[in-house]
Every structure is written in C-alpha cells, then in structure tokens.
Amino acid sequence: MINVSIIGTGNIAYHFSNVFLKHHNINLIEVCGRRKNIPSYFSSRVNYCDDVSKISKSDIYMICVSDDQIEIISNKIKASSKSLILHCSGSTDMKALSNYCNYGVLYPLQTFSVEKNINFKKIPIIIEGNSKDSLNKIENLASKLSENVLKASSKQRLAIHVSAVFANNFTNYMRVVADEILKSNDIDPEILNPLTFETSDKLKYLNSKEAQTGPALRKDINTLKKHLNLLKGSSYHKIYETISNEIKKINYEL
C-alpha cells in the first residue's frame, strides 16, 4: 500500500484524488490547499488540511499547484528523508524540488476539467526521477494509474508540453474562433461537431500531414482571398493569414 498526499485543489488535484480513491493499493492520506474548506467537487471521503506546513506524513507528496508556486510550496512540506516529492508539471524542471533527498516528476499528458470525467488508464504519464530508486518508485505509482508510462528528461518533457499546447490549447482555440464566426452569422456552432470529431478520428488512420486538407494546402488563392475578406477588421484575420502561410509550405516539405 502506497500512502499519497496531494497539495493543490485544482483540476489535476481533483482528478488525481479520484483515481487514488478508486485504487486498492493506493491510500490517499490527505489533500492540502490554501482555502479554508476543500472545494465541493472533491469526494466527501477526502481528508483536508489548509496549511501545507502541517501536512500529515506520507510516502509520496504530489504537488499539483501552478508552475510558479511549485518551488515555494514544496519547500514548506516537512517531509522525512524517505519521502518522495513529485510535481506534475510539463514545463517545470525536476530540479525545482532539489531541496529534498528524493524527488521527481509525474506528468499526465492530458487536458483536465473538473466537469469532465476521464479514463486515467489511457493517459500517457511522463516520469523523471532524481535517482534510480526515486524513478523506480515513480514508475511503480505511475503504472498503477496508466498503461502508458514514458521516461523522459526535463528537456524532452518541455517539448512534450509545448506540443500538447499546440495539440490541445491551440486546436481548441481554433474551435473558439470558428464558433464565434458562426454565432456572428446566426448559425449554431454545434453544426461543426461532426467535423471536429472526424478531424481527430482521422488521426487513427492517417498521420497529421496526410490528414491535412483545405484551401491553403491546395494553394487555392481565390478562396483564401474570400476568407480573408470576410475576416477583415477582426483579429482572426492575422491568425488566418499566419497559419495559412505556414500550411502552404507543407507541400514542399513532403
């Protein structure tokens, strides 16, 4: 049985608490946050503490706070020399935790919202440890959560995080723009759902370069002009132009 505590009460802390509560070989000791009370979306079975300097003893402390708070918060934990301190950030160097004897990273490559349940088993988990012993312990924990565990350096993890920003945050933003264009033309954005689904489903059969279509790839100048004309005066004009210019380059590279 592994004893684990979570520091933080945001989206990732919430999803970790749920997967830990469900697992027979993991014992969720405590969730710790700055707020006086734990947010209501957490399970009532969770013990809560509002002062990180008073956190209960645990085998593993998972720091699930914003990147710029990781180093500050971690240094308040009074952990024994046997404990393992982990953060779960994509872009923070493991060394942010180097005040401790045993430390590392357990970064789940997924987008988390409290409102949406997730099957942890399929989420790739990227791990890194300060020693062979730490890495073994992290791998042991990660493999209880997911079937897809990958060791990577802090630099590789940063590259994975940037790529995830493109693949998730930026793709989602493209849909935000699409929805706004439709709404301003009195069309229900839900009309795009089959297209959005197909766009991601296609990647099971084709790689992203093969799946690329559209007027920029075809260098269809007339259509590009019509689209830019429709977007004139909005901030979407620049985005359309920037991305289309990049897509035009794809053909040459293939």
The nearest distance, CB 136 to a second copy, in angstroms, is 22
- Give residue for tokens 């790839």: 217
Binding status of residue 44 toward a second copy by CB under 8 A: no
The nearest distance, CB 225 to a second copy, in angstroms, is 10
Site for a second copy in 71-130 (CB under 8 A): 91, 109-113, 115-116, 118, 122-124
Q: Which stretch binds a second copy (CB under 8 A): 21-29, 48-56, 78-86, 222-230?
A: 222-230
Site for a second copy in 142-181 (CB under 8 A): 148, 150, 152, 155-156, 158-179, 181
Binding status of residue 2 toward a second copy by CB under 8 A: no
| Member of 15, 87, 137, 227 binding a second copy (CB under 8 A) | 227
Binding mask 230-249 for a second copy (x = CB under 8 A): xx---xx-xxx-xx--xx-x
Binding status of residue 36 toward a second copy by CB under 8 A: no
| Member of 37, 47, 66, 131 binding a second copy (CB under 8 A) | 66
Q: Tell me how far apart the alpha carbons of residues 31 and 49 are, in angstroms, rounded to a whole number.
A: 6
Binding status of residue 197 toward a second copy by CB under 8 A: yes
The amino acid that residue 202 corresponds to is K
Which of 106, 58, 98 has the alpha carbon at shortest distance from 78? Answer: 58
Complex with a second copy: residue 44 or 235, whichever CB lies closer? 235
- Are 102 and 32 within 8 A, CB to CB? no
- Are 42 and 14 within 8 A, CB to CB? yes
- C-alpha 192, offset from chain centre: 24
Complex with a second copy: residue 33 or 84, whichever CB lies closer? 33
Distances in whole angstroms, Cα of residue 191 to Cα of each of 184, 186, 197 = 14, 12, 11
| Member of 50, 51, 133, 198 binding a second copy (CB under 8 A) | 198
Distances in whole angstroms, Cα of residue 139 to Cα of each of 96, 143, 189, 230, 253 = 20, 6, 42, 52, 38
Which of 64, 74, 78 has the alpha carbon at shortest distance from 98? Answer: 74
Which of 36, 37, 31 has the alpha carbon at shortest distance from 16? Answer: 31
